[in-house]
């Protein structure tokens, strides 16, 4: 967490030991957190060059364009990086539900007492 | 990523190999992503019991109440978990700047071309 990382104007993402950085996607319209995923350098580069969110799927072990099969792409309107450059925030317009369950957001359950509530 | 994790009403966070889960904090007022940090089981339990955000500091290797020295606590108003229960979203009211740099949000730089812009 150097000054260069925090104060600089050079994009220098700190990928973790697996080569990944955390990416948070919010809906550009209302700020709802739609999903949290991971990017490797290639996913980040493709997201920047195409304006559509790409990720690295840890479960499938491959690069993945969000919506490549469902059509529910995420069109990026703003992309930010945090102070120590180990997390990325995308604001996006979603073509459809962001969650593979069909929910609009992956965060469809609220933590309530000892359990979860859908609301 | 079992059905139990996705459809159930049981809180069963999937901590990673280091015992951590990713936590995203947004400002309850306007949806700005304030910070991305990590929680271990103790930080999650304390956040739930006190209503104030606690994290695990990977750099310092200890439990950490946000604002414990600065006073800039994060008062949680809503807490959600994602489909596969490996990320948490907190909506919070911030008592002051969330970033240790003094910025309101850790995401004070936008990715623009090959560089970063403060805005």
Residue B6's pLDDT is 83
Q: State pLDDT tens for residues A67-95.
A: 999 999 999 999 999 999 999 999 999 99
pLDDT band at A27 (very low <50, low <70, confident <90, very high): very high
DSSP state string for A56-106: EETTTTEEEETTTTT---EEEEEEEE-TTS-EEEEEEEESS-SSTTS-SSS
Residue A63 CA to residue A43 CA, distance in Å, equals: 7
Domain count within chain A: 1
The ranges of chain B with pLDDT < 70 are 1-3
**How far is residue A88 from each of residues A103, B24, B36, B64, measured CA to CA in Å?**
23, 11, 9, 22
Minimal Cα–Cα distance from B84 to chain A, Å? 8
Could you tell me which chain A residue has the CA closest to the CA of B105?
Answer: A82
Domain assignment of residue A108, yes or no: yes
User: What's the CATH number where B54 sits?
Assistant: 3.10.20.810
- Chain B residues lying within 8 Å of A10, measured CB to CB: 115-116
Minimal Cα–Cα distance from A16 to chain B, Å? 12
Domain assignment of residue A4, yes or no: no
Query: What pTM was computed for the model?
Result: 0.95
Minimal Cα–Cα distance from A31 to chain B, Å? 5
Q: Please judge whether B116 and A8 are an interchain contact, meaning their C-beta atoms are less than 8 angstroms apart.
A: yes
- Percent above pLDDT 70 for chain A: 97
Domain assignment of residue A13, yes or no: no
SS3 A39: strand
Residue-range definition of the domain harbouring residue A86: 18-118
pLDDT band at A113 (very low <50, low <70, confident <90, very high): confident
Contacts of residue B18, defined as CB under 8 A and 6 or more positions apart, other chains included, come to B58
Residue B119 CA to residue B34 CA, distance in Å, equals: 14
Residue B1's pLDDT is 46
Strand partners, B79: B90
Residue A3's pLDDT is 62
Residue B92 CA to residue B26 CA, distance in Å, equals: 6
The ipTM (two decimal places) reads 0.95
Minimal Cα–Cα distance from A13 to chain B, Å? 11
Domain assignment of residue A29, yes or no: yes
Contacts of residue B28, defined as CB under 8 A and 6 or more positions apart, other chains included, come to B77, B78, B91, B92, B93
Residue A55's pLDDT is 98
Domain assignment of residue A104, yes or no: yes
Q: State pLDDT tens for residues A3-14.
A: 677 888 999 999
Q: Please judge whether B111 and A80 are an interchain contact, meaning their C-beta atoms are less than 8 angstroms apart.
A: yes
Could you tell me which chain A residue has the CA closest to the CA of B116?
Answer: A9
Residue B3's pLDDT is 62
C-alpha distance across the termini of chain B, in Å: 38
Answer for the pair B20, B38: CB distance below 8 angstroms, yes or no.
yes
Query: Quick check: A104 contacting B, CB < 8 Å?
Result: no
Query: Quick check: B103 contacting A, CB < 8 Å?
Result: yes
């Amino acid at each position: 967490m150097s000054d260069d990382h925090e104060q600089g104007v050079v994009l220098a993402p700190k990928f973790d030991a697996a080569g990944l950085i955390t990416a948070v996607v919010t809906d550009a319209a209302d700020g709802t957190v739609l999903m949290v995923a991971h990017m490797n350098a290639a996913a980040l580069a493709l997201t920047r060059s195409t304006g559509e969110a790409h990720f690295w799927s840890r479960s499938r072990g491959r690069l993945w364009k969000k919506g490549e099969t469902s059509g529910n792409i995420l069109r990026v309107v703003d992309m930010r990086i945090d102070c120590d450059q180990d997390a990325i925030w995308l604001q996006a317009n979603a073509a459809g539900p962001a969650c593979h369950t069909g929910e609009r957001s992956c965060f469809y359950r609220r933590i309530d007492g000892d359990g979860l509530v859908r609301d």
